[in-house]
A and B are shown apart, each in its own frame.
Chain A
């Protein structure tokens, strides 16, 4: 530690170049993409905010939403956030087996979230309350569906990384960057979900 503290920042960076995991241009670029995604979700939330009372004689959120289901979905996504965090910490400790285990746990949680959501959507559509029923439901399916689609993409990405990690890439610097990007993506989706359960579901049943 003392040795490290006496070194100039540049020497420090050179010394640890390979393993010291500084923010790279890739991760910053991905962060910028997430910020545009933020604006995308902002626009869909704005549309939902305008159309949330346009029921066209159809059912309102109060009649449609099952808060127990939403609570379970919220818990699952929150747990998946922390399990991905454990995967990140194990990746830093170069413990590949535990990274794969925690990623698998995260994947199962993410998949059950998507499963619950698909189940909710199909039962709503089966009852004739699909996105074509009213402007409110169009906005609802667009917003929640876009989030669900993001989660699905995150799951596919997670499987790809797990397969790559078992190959020659192992936990290389490149793989660490990929894991850092997916980490940002996954935690970002949980943030979007905070807004979904607060302003779509909870505000919708009041």
Chain B
């Protein structure tokens, strides 16, 4: 049992890993809600804070819940994820850039 547990620790997590991930996720989530609900930050700053907190929380979930890591066993998973993430950044960033530019030039706002 002890042996099996050690062998699985790397790629499948443990109670402590899940709990660490959970606590970090709760802290980051509460920080996100606080950033908006306390009205302490200007809208621009709050949006920046939300973005940073969301990215950090996504990484926390990937590492502690989806067990994504840089081990050789996971290299294909990681590579596919990086490609997908890059695609998403291009899709969202490109769309916002193009549509904003269009809106400005068409004077639709």
* Interface residues, chain A, with chain B CB atoms under 8 Å away: 1, 4, 16, 19-23, 28, 31-32, 35-36, 38-39, 41-43, 45-47, 49-50, 67, 71, 74-75, 78, 81-82, 85-86, 88-89, 92-93, 184, 187-188, 190-191, 194-195, 197-199, 202-203, 205-206
Contact = CB atoms under 8 A, between A and B. Distances in A.
Nearest to B59: A191
Interface in B2-48: 3-8, 11-15, 18-19, 21-22, 25-26, 29, 32-33, 35-37, 43, 46-47
A47 B85 CA distance: 17
B57 A194 contact: yes
B70 to A, nearest CB: 14
Contact of B65 (A21, A32, A36, A85): A85
28 contacts: A1-B3, A4-B3, A16-B7, A19-B4, A20-B7, A21-B8, A23-B74, A36-B84, A38-B87, A38-B88, A39-B87, A42-B88, A42-B92, A67-B33, A67-B36, A78-B25, A81-B61, A81-B65, A82-B65, A85-B13, A191-B62, A194-B29, A197-B29, A197-B32, A198-B51, A199-B50, A199-B54, A202-B50
A40 to B, nearest CB: 10
Contact of A190 (B19, B53, B61): B61
A204 B57 CA distance: 19
B106 interface: no
A52 to B, nearest CB: 10
Contacts of A38: 84-85, 87-88
Contact of A49 (B1, B35, B85, B95): B95
B31 to A, nearest CB: 11
Contacts of A75: 29
Given A42-B88, A206-B47, A191 B15 contact: no
B63 to A, nearest CB: 11
Interface in B73-87: 73-74, 76-77, 80-81, 83-85, 87
B91 A206 contact: no
A135 B25 CA distance: 32
Nearest to A67: B37
Contacts of B77: 23, 28, 31
Contacts of B51: 198
Contacts of A35: 80-81, 83-84
A154 to B, nearest CB: 14
